[in-house]
Each structure stands twice: as C-alpha cells, then as structure tokens.
Structure 1
Amino acid sequence: MSQCLNPDCLLQNPSGSTNFCHECGNKLLLGDRYRSQKIIGQGGFGRTFLAVDEYKPSKPPCVIKQFYPQVQGTSSIQKAAELFELEAVRLEQLGKHSQIPELLAYFSQDERQYLVQEFIDGENLAQTLKSQGYFSETQIRNLLNNLLPVFEFIHSRQVIHRDIKPENIILMSNGQLVIVDFGAAKYATQTALAVTGTRIGTAGYTAPEQANGKPIHASDIYSLGVTCLCLLTQVEPIDLFDDSEFDWVWREHLKTSVSSELGQILDKMIQPAIKKRYQSATEILQALGTQSPQLSAQTPPPPPDSLKSAQGVDYTRLRDLLAAGKWKEADQETLNVMLKAARREKEGYFNKESIDNFPCDDLRTIDKLWVKYSQGRFGFSIQKKIWLEVGGKVDWETECKLGDRVGWRKGGSWLDTKNLTYNKQAPVGHLPRELCGWWGGFRGLGVKWRYGSSLASRTVSCKL
C-alpha cells in the first residue's frame, strides 16, 4: 500500500501502483525514496506515517513526520514550524545513539516540511502502563539505570529535551528504552539559560523553572522523576501534588511498597527548588549505586586520541594538559601549536590570511581534544555553533555578539585573557581564547581587532 501524503487526499493506493496517487496525482515517493504506507499518528502540528526506504534492498521501515499545523494565527504557525525544524536540528546534533532515533532526512516537498527518522518498534510507556498496570520498584530502578546514561549523553552535548513523559519513552521488545520527540529540545548555551524563553513542555511534568521559560539540565531530571511517580501509582501528576500544602503526596497513591532509599531519590528528583534537586544524571546513578557508563572502570578504555597534523605538529602536551583539566595552560599551548601549524612562530601572531588558510586537519585535532576533555563545553566547533546563532558573519557586530555570548566581553568591553574564567564553570564556548587577542598587523599600534568570527568561519569551511 502507498498512503498519499497530500493532506487533502490521503488515499490508500493499492500495492504495485505507480509513483503517483490515483486520486490527486500527487507524488507517492517522498524525496524519490521514502514510500508512506499508513498514518500512525496525528496531532496539532502534523501527521506521522509509517514508511519504507526504497533505496535499500531490504526496504527497512522508517517514520515520516509531515508538518501540517492545525493551529491558528501566523505567529503560532511560525512557532510550530520552528519547533518542527528544531527536532531535525537536535537529532542531527546528537548524532547516533542506540536510544535516540536517528535522523535520516529533512527537506521540503510540495511546499511542506518533512522529517524522516529511524523507526522504533515498540510501545510508549503510557501504553505499557495502561495495558500492564503500575510499575514495581524493580521496574523503576531498571528504567532509571537504562535512561540516565542517555540523559548524560544528551546533556553533555548541551541539549535539554524539555518534554520527558511516558508518551515520549518507547519500550522496545528487547527491553531497551528509547527517548523520542525532540521537537521541544533546546540547545543550552549559558546565555540562553539566563534569558526567559518560550514555555514548552507538558503540564504536570514540567519543572517550575521551565514553566517560567528558563529550562536547565535539571529540568529534565524533574520530568523524569514525575514520570517515575506516574508509573508507580498509575495516577496523573496533577493528582500527585497537593497545591494547598505545596508538596508531593505520591506515597498516598502507591499500589505497592517502595523502599525508603528509592523514595528519597525520587523525592530529590522532583524538588521544586533547583538547588535541592539532583543537578546531573550521574549523581542519581551514584545514589542508585550504579556506576555511570562514562565513569565505569569496566568500560573498555577509549581509543587513543587521534593527533593528526598536516604540518607535523606534536599535540601530545595539549592533550595531557586538557586531560589534567589545566585549562589556562592548555589555552596557552593551543596558541603555541596553532602558530606552529600556521607557520607563524617567528611572527608570534596571526593575520587574516593565516586564519583563512589554517590546516583543517590540525584545526580538527585541536577541536576534538577540547570538546572531548571539556565534555562538550569548550572547543572551536562549540564556538562555531554560537557564531552561527548570532549571525554567522565575519564582521565587528557579529564579533561582539559572539564575545557577549561566550563571556569574552563584559559591560561592552573585551576582557584580557588574564581575566577569563579557566574552569568548567565558564560559559559554554569560553575556551580556547588565548589566540583570539589581536590581529597581529595592528598589535604594535595597540588597535584591538578580535578574530573569533574569522576562526569560526574557518571551522565551517573545514566542516568541523
């Protein structure tokens, strides 16, 4: 069968039909590759279709999401379109993970937006709760141990899901849990977290700070805690919280006993006050007595860092400094090795030409080291994403916006390198910075020209 994608038709065309709908003549193949078979979901923003990928011999199943908003008003439709595109951006940003659906394609056809992603075969936890009843303590512990490493992965890439709930967690036949629907996900830069934004999430599951438009990583932890309470009690969140006492009363609705240990962990996950809540998924795993896969001694050691250089530069010292968390020394060493790679050691500074032609292999090596040892907080590729968000231009205005976002400027003035923050509490993208002091041609004259934007532009051409 071939389900027509035209919202005004949706005819089920018989098997063996042509590549055009018998009723409206609309193309049946999306992107000349993906064939829709049937509608499996529908909501205010569009429809979801089960499809097959006809480019592959086995014709594996996949999912087509069609943006077809039912909301009214130009601003509402525009916001819905942004959220739809955002899901594709976040999935691409996260890359491959066995517990996150892989993005296969994102494009427009017939003036409509489409997102194609991996098909996850299973049922969501809301369906499981309805068919099998409340969860036991063992099931909740298994759920936390299964999902928290995924939270570590997502949050280490500065992404906040913002809509964790039973409907967005899929239980596969092999017992693996998959987190879906990243349409509400947010990229958590330091500046973005300090600015009130759009209120997104599902009522009852949303943390107070997220309801106020200021989500943080711990907001996802709050939502996961509420999800656990609903699975334990088979009761909606609104009935688990006593507004008059401003307190959770979930224990009154338990169908089975829960140990005081797990109860205390859940209580801390759902604390309205951020400072009283767990700040990371790793903290919860430790409280459960489960070693994080990222920290586990049983985890095979990662492959040695690739220290590739097109100019024969030795990056061993930079790697060792970063691994030791010596951020200031690593920042200075980054300048040293980049001058070597650019053949500008004698001059001791860069000019625009040396940045525009900086060896991509070396830029990639330096960036990977910074990103790896900062757990995704620092690096040229991180700065590039922020640069694109503030305009993506190589000019003074964009340079200033970039400086404001990553903490290189304060009160409209540029900070000297001695006044930077050399620890992981620094804003995302804050480091490396030592090399971005002046364009050397003006250094002797004391005229300060920053070139973070020029370097960010080079990371784009090098495809970092």
Structure 2
Amino acid sequence: MKLWQPNQHLNNGRFIIQKVLGSGGFGVTYSVRERDTYKLFVLKTLNHIQQNKQNFKQLQVKFVNEALRLAKCSHPHIVKVYEVIQEDGLWCMVMEYIDGQDIANYIDINGVLSEQEALLYIDQIGQALEYIHHQGFLHRDIKPSNIILRRGKSEVVLIDFGLAREYTNGQIKSMTNERTDGYAPIEQYKRRGNFGAYTDIYALAATLYTLLTKEVPIPAEYRNRNNTLPPPKQFNSQISDRVNDAIVQGMALEPENRPQSIFDFRELLGLASILSSQDIEEKLISAVGMDYTRLRDLLASGRWKEADEETTRVMLAVVGKENDGCLNEKDIYNFPCRDIRTIDQLWVKYSHGRFGFSVQKRIYQSMRGTKNFYRDFWNNFGEQVGWRKDKKWMYYEDLTFNITAPEAHLPSGIFWFDSWWGRYGWFLLDGVEKRFYYLVARVIKCNI
C-alpha cells in the first residue's frame, strides 16, 4: 500500500510531494512540485482502499483508461492531464494544478449564488459536457465538489472523470452503479440500462439546484418510491420561473422526459443565444450576415493553412476591411461577439479542442502567473504555442499547418499584416502583440 508523505520524492526525484489535496471513493490527489521548474501539478492515483482490493490490477487498468480519456480532451473547462507515470508499481496521472476552490466549498462559505452567476458556471460546464459527449463518453459524476472555480476568475473547470464511460445513444449497456446520491439519475442505480446525454443532464440540473438553494436534492432512488422533488424556488424565491422549470424538467425521473441534449437544456435555461458547438454546423451565426460555410468545410477537411487564410479573410470582411490586410485594435475591440464565437467554435470543433481563440486565451491566462511575466511573456507565449523557435520568431510559411502543431498554434494569420508576413515574418512585433492582447480581451468580454 502506497501512502505518500510531504517532502517525499517521486519519479526519480522529479516531483516533490507538497500535501494531500483530497481523497474520494476511488482516488487520492496530491499537490506536487516539479523539482527543476518549481511548477505545481496535481498527482492522482488510486487510494489505499482500492490498492487493497483483490481486483487491484483491473482497477489500475480502469484508472489508466480514465487518464487516456482525459488526455484526449483539450477544453478550457476540463482539467488537463499531461502524462501518466508509474511509481513503485502504482500508476499516477500528472494533471493541471488549478488554483481555486470547488463550488461546494465556495457556496458553503459564501451562500447561494445569484442566478446570473450560477448560470454562467453551469453554461461553462455545459460546454465541457457537450465536448465530451461528442468524444463519445459520459462524465457520470457531475456535482459541485467536482467543479473548481479558478481563483480571482469567473471560470470553472470540470474534474474527476473516474466514473466516465463510453456510450451510444439508444443502446442498453452495463456500467458500474457507483454514484453520488442527490446528483445521480435513476438509471445510475442500476448496473444495466439505457444511458445517454440525459444522464449527465440530470446531474447538471441537480448541481444548478444546489448552487441556487444550498440544498442537496432528494436522491432519485427515494423519489422513485415517493415521486417528490421540492422545486428549487421553494427554497429561494429569487429564482426565475424559467430557471425553476428548467431544473425540474432536467431532473425528471424518466430519461425520456428530460432534455435529450445539453443544447436542449441550455435552451430551457435561456442560454441558447450562446452558440452550442453541437449545432454550429447548422447555425453558422453572424451578426453581419457573413457566410462561414467555406471556413467550416476547410476545417472539416483538415486544410489548416487554407482555413487560417480564410479566417483572416472573413474577419477582415466582417469589419469592412477585406482589402486593407489587417485589423487594428479598434476593429478587434468592437468585433461582433457572435462572429468571433462562431469562428472560434469551428476551430475548436474540428481540431478537437487543439486550436482556436479560446484555446489561445486559456494558455495566455495560465501563463499570467509565471515568473517574469511582464518582461518575458510575449517571447514565452510564442515558444509555448510554436510561433518561436531557437529564440527567433518564425516566418508564416514555416508554421506548422497540421493537427500535430502545438496547442493554440492556430489561427495565427489574423495577428499579422497579410501582405508582409510571408516575406518578412514577425516584424513590428509590438503591433502583433497588441492585436493579440486585444483579441484575448475581446474573447474574454464575449464570454468565450
């Protein structure tokens, strides 16, 4: 049995245990510091209970599969897994360290959330769920304690994919019946059933119930016998009728009576004006009537350089500067949110979360707390996303226009003067840097 202590060295001295962050039914998490970089990470492994079980080897396989599922996800509201390591026969995943607190603890301290704040967080987690549902699996453990609020930001991250499983809508499947009472739907009380997006929708609605009332909903198994669920408005009269009714419908006992997709649930909550990645192919929304069909088709076929050039063209056309070659800071500051959201979600969708303005924003925000941020940030950022190599800024033609490019490598052409980039590379870097910062600010303001 492995129980690690503070200051213990792991992975041939690479990591130093800082403290235990928490322990649940399956896993235990530690904060660790990488010796050479001083960066904090989270190390997760099976807890002592699982280590002592006779089927420990099979549990290790499931644990590694969880890590592989998470490693395939690249989304701003999903915790990032960097790698899997083994320490004295015990598999561990090295994960992003999120400076913040879980939402359960947050409301314990601060009380119920306003409807506006609660919906902001639920919509972010909803976007994360849309993403993982498109990857073909369910989370199955949505609850306030599995949602981390980043410190000093109105941004949440979904963690703990220990119960995540692959699924196919309409097919009867066997799954473990582990669950969290109050947030798990009735189908999770059975080992075999028809699971779908509506399984996570129940838990998401139940989480919203708690955020607005500070009450844990009555467990579905008890409701199955008594069919009682006090509406959330009974505990908080400030909840709007629309949100109250959406929560009740999202927590319907029978799966067929719930919304059948995250988009349907967001629509009930009044959040459908924020474009769903699920429906982006059918709803290429533009505030100015721009046609994004060609951009979609180029991205869908993996023609990344052409898609990057098309992104520059359509963004210039949106602001009426198609013949000018560049956007200035004012153009970016006033760029329509609907259009920048559509462009971003097309990139995110077809790159499987690897490229897009929101991905660039996430990396930008993650680097803000690094040492020498103000002095070295732009060079460090360029190296992180692959725009710099051997301490030199690259020419546009030398960038990597395929899916193996570094995360957030694309889109990139919009930050440069189109007619000069191919010949002279990254000259006048101050202007490029300003446009990038303005774009990040616009993405944040548009809540993307």
- Shorter-normalised TM range: 0.5 to 0.7
Distance 1:31 1:162, change over 3 A: farther
2:80 corresponds to which residue?
102
The one-letter code sitting in structure 1 at the alignment partner of 2:2 is: P
CA contact (8 A) 1:68 1:112 kept: no
2:285 corresponds to which residue?
297
Q: Distance in 1 between matches of 2:128 and 2:286?
A: 18
1:341 corresponds to which residue?
none
1:67 corresponds to which residue?
46
CA contact (8 A) 1:44 1:69 kept: no
Q: Deviations over 1:193-238 (max 9, x none)?
A: 4222221221221111222233321100000111111222212223
Shift of 1:253: 4.3
CA contact (8 A) 1:207 1:222 kept: yes
1:197 is the counterpart of 2:175: yes
Q: Give the one of 118, 122, 134 matched to 1:156.
A: 134
- Helix, strand or coil at the partner of 2:71: helix
CA contact (8 A) 2:23 2:47 kept: no
Which residues of structure 1 form unaligned runs of 5+?
1-5, 14-20, 22-27, 310-371, 377-464
CA contact (8 A) 1:87 1:181 kept: no
Task: Flag the structure with higher helix content.
Answer: 2
Shift of 1:243: 5.8
CA contact (8 A) 2:217 2:229 kept: no
Shift of 1:306: 7.5
Q: Distance in 2 between matches of 1:86 and 1:265?
A: 34
CA contact (8 A) 1:134 1:234 kept: yes
Structure label with greater radius of gyration: 1
Distance 1:286 1:53, change over 3 A: same
1:183 is the counterpart of 2:162: yes
In the TM superposition, what are the counterparts of 1:191-340 in structure 2 within 5 Å? Answer: 193-213=171-191, 214=193, 215-238=195-218, 245-251=226-232, 253-287=234-268, 288=270, 289-294=272-277, 295=280, 297-298=285-286, 301=292, 302=295, 304-305=298-299
The one-letter code sitting in structure 2 at the alignment partner of 1:291 is: I
The one-letter code sitting in structure 1 at the alignment partner of 2:189 is: A
1:87 corresponds to which residue?
66
- Helix, strand or coil at the partner of 2:49: coil
Q: Distance in 1 between matches of 2:23 and 2:107?
A: 21
2:437 corresponds to which residue?
none
CA contact (8 A) 2:167 2:196 kept: yes
The one-letter code sitting in structure 2 at the alignment partner of 1:105 is: E
- Helix, strand or coil at the partner of 1:70: helix
In the TM superposition, what are the counterparts of 1:20-169 in structure 2 within 5 Å? Answer: 28-30=9-11, 32-56=13-37, 59-71=38-50, 73-75=53-55, 77-78=56-57, 80-94=59-73, 96-169=74-147
CA contact (8 A) 2:33 2:41 kept: yes
CA contact (8 A) 1:285 1:292 kept: no
Count of residue pairs brought into register by the alignment: 294
TM-score (norm 2): 0.58
Distance 1:305 1:252, change over 3 A: closer
TM-score (norm 1): 0.56
CA contact (8 A) 1:83 1:184 kept: no
In the TM superposition, what are the counterparts of 1:323-362 in structure 2 within 5 Å? Answer: none
CA contact (8 A) 1:67 1:84 kept: yes
Q: Distance in 2 between matches of 1:267 and 1:46?
A: 32
